[in-house]
Structure 1
Amino acid sequence: MQDLKNNTSGDDDQIAWVRVASVFVPLANPISDAKVLTGRQKPMTEIAILVVEIETKDGHRGLGFSYSKRAGGPGQFAHAKELAPVLIGENPSDIAKLWDKLCWAGASVGRSGLATQAIGAFDVALWDLKAKRANLSLARLLGAHRDSVQCYNTSGGFLHTPLEQLMINTDISREKGIGGIKLKVGQPDQALDLHRVSSIRKHLGDAFPLMVDANQQWDRPTAQRMCRQLEQYNLIWIEEPLDCYDAQGHAMLAQQFDTPIATGEMLTSVAEHWEFIKQGGADYLMPDAPRIGGITPYLKVQALAEHNGLMIAPHFAMELHIHLAATYSREPWVEHFEWLEPLFNERMETRDGRMLVPTRPGLGLSLSEQSARWTAQEFTAGNRP
């Protein structure tokens, strides 16, 4: 029998160095959805990215990120700066243990929201490191069901975009090999919403996948009326028709209408997703890995969704979610946004309505030179080997 005490094949690597950076990625044009038209938010002009880089004493490296829109970026960075030293000396393979350790280190500010969104960047970096060390893509490391995922474009369908430009944008998306189009709705003039949806449906044809997203701006009576009128357009889903925490209201719509109801992007913990699942509040669940604390909690949500027979369509951050969607047993959707592309040297590839899962080790991403110019703050813990 092998002497376990003398077994040197185990992993005894340690985290030696951690870098956290606050990076602000500008958007080409101010972005408006229903939350802007109803006066609840201002147009979005940039995205705050929390970048984490981890290196071990044996020279293995991992890259992770989280994000915030409109507000919260400096807060995420401040929390991550406090947490980074906690990882020094730890074994990078113990990802679940490290997630708990980071969470307890900041337990007084809660287990959801900004606190766990900061943890998410560390968690993604640890998974990236683990996959790179195995010389596998993240999808392969986790166990992929497919080499490509059907994808839809959102960035061309915002409410500030005139109808004529919407049609041009849909044509551009289809020419790029993107397989679906999502339109923003939820503005005060509901007749205008319906006109835009009707026009784009006619432009695309009856069979091309089309979704709409109200960004939580309807009350229950309005949502019922709009869902009823939208049934005729053969939509893949109606997204966030109600407040993101109204699980019961979403469940009523899901039971009443044939068109699937999609929601979940604003939820910030496994517990919040579980409440929606228990109440039947979504046909398509839309978890966002950075918003719920990274890949580790995302996999828990995905397992709950699969057990309860739900479809899944992770929100935003296609560079990360393409790997996670590829691991779901039922055919998922992944959301195509160009907004984070300038942050990285690599690009996602779309073909025949689908996004190809990268085969490079880990996430398959490296930071661009531009990211350094957009860096507002950075902090390091430990010493590079």
Structure 2
Amino acid sequence: MSITMERAHAELWRYPLKGSTGGSGITSVDLIVCNLESNDGHTGIGFSYVLGGGGEHVVQLANSMLDRFVLGQKLMPPNALWRVLMQSLNRLGRGSGYLAIAALDVAMWDLHAKCQGLPLGVSMGGTLREVPVYGSGGFGPNQDPAEAVDQALKYANAGATAVKLRFTGNASDFKRLDAVANAIPDDVGIMADLNEKCDLASALWLSNACAEYNLIWLEEPLPAKDIHGYISLASKTRVPIATGEHHQGANELLPFFEGHCCAIAQPDLAMMGGLTEILRVVILAEHFGISIAPHFLPSLFIHLAAVSPAITWVEDFPLLEPLFNKPAVMLENGMMMPSEVPGHGLSWASGAREEFKVRQ
């Protein structure tokens, strides 16, 4: 029997957060939720997102792609479908199209792995393994040092071997950094995220001042597209530089790899257009000796870690986790292990769709 796609649909959910969240201070997330079902009864769940709103256009694109290239069509392997979808953007540009493709890509990988009866990481060609988790949730750029210490100690006591602070790019960062560094155990490392707040001069000043704290990395000190600034900064600082969550496609990250100005790459599921393109980034990272620490969503990216040793960290930033039913959690040893059920193992929490689906 030829396997075809019997059902394929995307819908918009709007998920309000409890307050200003993370270094960029978002207050809501638009989710593009994709549901697939083949004529042999296998299903796939996928999602993408827009941080801060604007998902209406993305879900329209997702449904257009599903109608044109998926619904009623013979089932294609995820890589093959991704190329078809990407080619459809040839005269449109990546933009919102990549965010739409991401939802379809995740759903297709989930369905593909379920058809094989394998966990996603194994279906992708890997072997399931533990990966260390760093704690990123609950930190803010204007946070009181005592609050940052409390949050860092919660992570350390739970087993995390690193925490990531948020920086503003001025002298107030050092009070928070010093307080946390003096409070946490010596075997718990520190990262810091600037969320693109500096220019080259202030990034050099701040990174040099951070050197004595032996940061694991300094994240997005400059605007994401400032390749020349990153090359100059990396050549003058002792602190490893991380970037990647705002880049779309391997082509946008490749100059950072070739310029040796990025020690850690942090691909974002939505911006990269899904898991298929992130797999390409991971392969490039292996070639250049660059570590990969994907942007949040550890329950999903822990499967990608099965495919490549380049993935050295997953991030505990529980932005969407309340929407999932039993997502993967950090173990007492500070590691995370993927689910062994077929597919990516993620499903929606009871009542989530009814509460957050946007009625159109």
* TM-score relative to the length of structure 1: 0.88
- Pick which of 48-57 and 289-298 moved more: 289-298
Cα 1:122–1:247 shift into 2, 3 Å: same
1:106 CA displacement: 4.1
Could you tell me which runs of 5 or more consecutive residues in structure 1 were left unpaired when the two chains were aligned: 1-10, 36-42, 379-385
1:187-222 Cα deviation digits (max 9, x unpaired): 4xx111111111111111443111001111111011
Are residues 331 and 340 of structure 1, via their aligned partners in 2, closer, same or farther at CA, if it must alter by over 3 Å?
Answer: closer
Partner of 2:163: 181
> Deviations for 1:49-107, whole angstroms, at most 9, x for unmatched residues?
11101001111111111111113312211211222212112233332222222233344
Q: SS at 2:109's partner residue? A: helix
Q: Deviations over 1:265-312 (max 9, x none)?
A: 100112101122121220001111321111111111111111111111
Q: Quote the Cα distance in structure 1 between the aligned partners of 2:86 and 2:50.
A: 19
Query: What is the CA-CA distance between 1:145 and the residue it aligns to?
Result: 4.9
> Match for 1:299: what amino acid?
L
2:29 aligned residue (47, 51, 65): 47
Equivalent position of 1:98 in the other structure: 81
CA apart distance, 1:228: 0.4
Matches within 5 A, 1:297-376: 297-330=277-310, 332-351=312-331, 352-372=333-353, 373-376=355-358
1:324–1:196 CA distance, 2 compared to 1 (3 A): same
- The aligned residue for residue 39 of structure 1 is none
Pairing 1:154-173 to 2, within 5 Å after superposition: 154-173=136-155
Alignment-derived partner of residue 46 in structure 2: 64
SS at match of 2:110: helix
User: SS of 2:19's equivalent?
Assistant: strand
Alpha-carbon distance between aligned partners in 1 of 2:260 and 2:73, rounded to the nearest angstrom: 40
Flag the structure with larger Rg. 1
| RMSD, matched Cα | 1.8
Q: In the alignment, what sits opposite 1:207?
A: 187
Q: Which moved more, 1:286-295 or 1:325-334?
A: 325-334
Is the Cα–Cα contact under 8 Å of residues 92 and 130 in structure 1 kept in the other structure? Answer: no
> 2:6 aligns to what?
16
Q: Is the deviation greater in 64-73 or in 172-181?
A: 172-181
Deviation at 1:257, TM superposition (A): 2.3
Percent of aligned pairs sharing the same letter: 31
Q: What is residue 8 of structure 1 aligned with on the other side?
A: none
Write the distance in 1 (CA, Å) between the matches of 2:306 and 2:346.
17
Indicate if the aligned counterparts of 2:248 and 2:271 stay in contact, CA closer than 8 A.
yes
CA distance in structure 2 between the aligned counterparts of 1:339 and 1:262, rounded to whole angstroms:
21
Match of 2:255 among 275, 278, 285: 275
Normalised TM-score (structure 2): 0.94
Instruction: Please tell me whether the aligned partners of residues 342 and 371 of structure 1 are also in contact (alpha carbons under 8 angstroms).
Output: no
Question: Which of structures 1 and 2 has the larger relative contact order (alpha carbons within 8 angstroms, sep 6+)?
Answer: 1
127-136 or 11-20: which moved more?
11-20
1:26 to 3, 16, 21: 16
Q: Distance in 2 between matches of 1:255 and 1:319?
A: 35
How many pairs are equivalent?
Answer: 357
Q: Contact 2:224–2:247 at 8 Å: present in 1 too?
A: yes
Deviations 1:225-257 (A, max 9, x none): 111000000111001111101122212222322
How far did 1:338 drift? 1.4
